[in-house]
Amino acid sequence: MTRPALPFILASLLLTAGLLAVGLRVGSYETDYALIGRALLHYDARDPAQLVLIELRLPRLLLALLAGAGLALSGYVMQAMVNNPLADPYLLGTASGGALGASLTFLFVPGLTIFGLYAPPLAALVGALGVTLVVVVIGSRRGRVVPTLLLLAGVAMGSLVTAVGGLLTFLAATEEKLRTITFWSLGGFERASWATLPYPAAAVGLGLGALALLRPRLNLLLLGEERATALGLPVARTRWLLLLIASGLTGAVVALCGPIGFVGLVIPHITRWLLGTVGRGNMVFCALLGGNFLVLCDLLARVLYPPAGLPVGLVTALFGVPFFVYLLRKQGG
CB atoms within 10 A of CB 279: 22
The reply on whether position 51 binds another protein by CB under 8 A is: yes
- Where does this chain touch another protein (CB under 8 A) — which range of 2-10, 73-81, 185-193, 218-226? 185-193
From residue 107 to residue 146, the character string flagging contacts with another protein as x (rule: CB under 8 A) and all else as - is ----xxx----x-x--------------------------
CA distance 264 to 283: 13
Residue 98: name the closest of 191, 184, 201 by CA.
Answer: 184
Among 9, 16, 22, 29, binds another protein (CB under 8 A): 29
Which CB atom, from 5 or from 256, has the smaller least distance to another protein? 256
Is there a contact between 255 and 199 (Cβ–Cβ < 8 Å)? yes
Is there a contact between 116 and 110 (Cβ–Cβ < 8 Å)? no
Which CB atom, from 154 or from 309, has the smaller least distance to another protein? 309
Min dist. Cβ of residue 165 to another protein (A): 17
Min dist. Cβ of residue 207 to another protein (A): 27
- Residue 127 to residues 165, 167, 258, Cα–Cα distance (Å): 12, 16, 11
Residue count, binding to another protein (CB under 8 A): 27
Element (H, E) at 141: strand 140-141
- Where does this chain touch another protein (CB under 8 A) — which range of 13-21, 128-136, 174-182, 213-221? 174-182
Residue 159: name the closest of 191, 135, 137, 143 by CA.
Answer: 135
The reply on whether position 225 binds another protein by CB under 8 A is: no
CA distance 238 to 303: 43
**Rule CB under 8 A: which of 56-95 touch another protein?**
56-57
Q: Residue 318, SS3?
A: helix
Which CB atom, from 118 or from 199, has the smaller least distance to another protein? 118
Strand partners, 117: 114
Q: Mutual orientation of helices 58-82 and 6-23 as an angle, nearest 10°?
A: 150
Min dist. Cβ of residue 94 to another protein (A): 22
Min dist. Cβ of residue 42 to another protein (A): 19
Min dist. Cβ of residue 174 to another protein (A): 8
- Where does this chain touch another protein (CB under 8 A) — which range of 22-30, 71-79, 200-208, 265-273? 22-30
- Where does this chain touch another protein (CB under 8 A) — which range of 8-16, 88-96, 178-186, 224-232? 178-186
Strand partners, 113: 118
Q: Which residues of 77-102 are buried (b: 16+ CB within 10 A; e: fewer)?
A: bbbbbbeeeebbbbbbbbbbbbbbbb
The reply on whether position 179 binds another protein by CB under 8 A is: yes
Site of interaction with another protein (CB under 8 A): 27-29, 48, 51-52, 55-57, 111-113, 118, 120, 170, 176-177, 179-180, 183, 188, 190-191, 193, 307-309
